[in-house]
């Protein structure tokens, strides 16, 4: 399998990088990708839990 990743985001400060795995954390100034225009800040937190459960 091949995986391609492209990052075109604005970047995060060191403080924001330390907090991105927290439940409900949303970095200020980062646009929301969902169709509703509102994010919950759960995406990376849920990914972290799922990956942890798979070892």
7 assigned to some structural domain: no
Q: How many domains does the chain have?
A: 1
33 assigned to some structural domain: yes
Low pLDDT (below 50) residues in the chain: none
30 assigned to some structural domain: yes
The residue range of the domain holding 19 is 14-53
Q: Determine the pLDDT at residue 22.
A: 87
24 assigned to some structural domain: yes
Q: Determine the pLDDT at residue 53.
A: 93
1 assigned to some structural domain: no
Rounded to whole angstroms, the Cα distance separating 9 from 7 reads 6
3 assigned to some structural domain: no
2 assigned to some structural domain: no
Exposed/middle/buried for residue 20 (C-beta within 10 Å: 0-12, 13-18, 19+) = middle
């Amino acid at each position: 399998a091949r995986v391609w990743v492209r990052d075109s985001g604005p970047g995060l400060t060191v403080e924001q990088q330390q907090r991105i795995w927290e439940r409900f954390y949303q970095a200020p100034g980062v646009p929301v990708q969902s169709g509703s225009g509102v994010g919950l800040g759960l995406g990376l937190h849920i990914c972290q839990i799922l990956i942890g459960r798979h070892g």
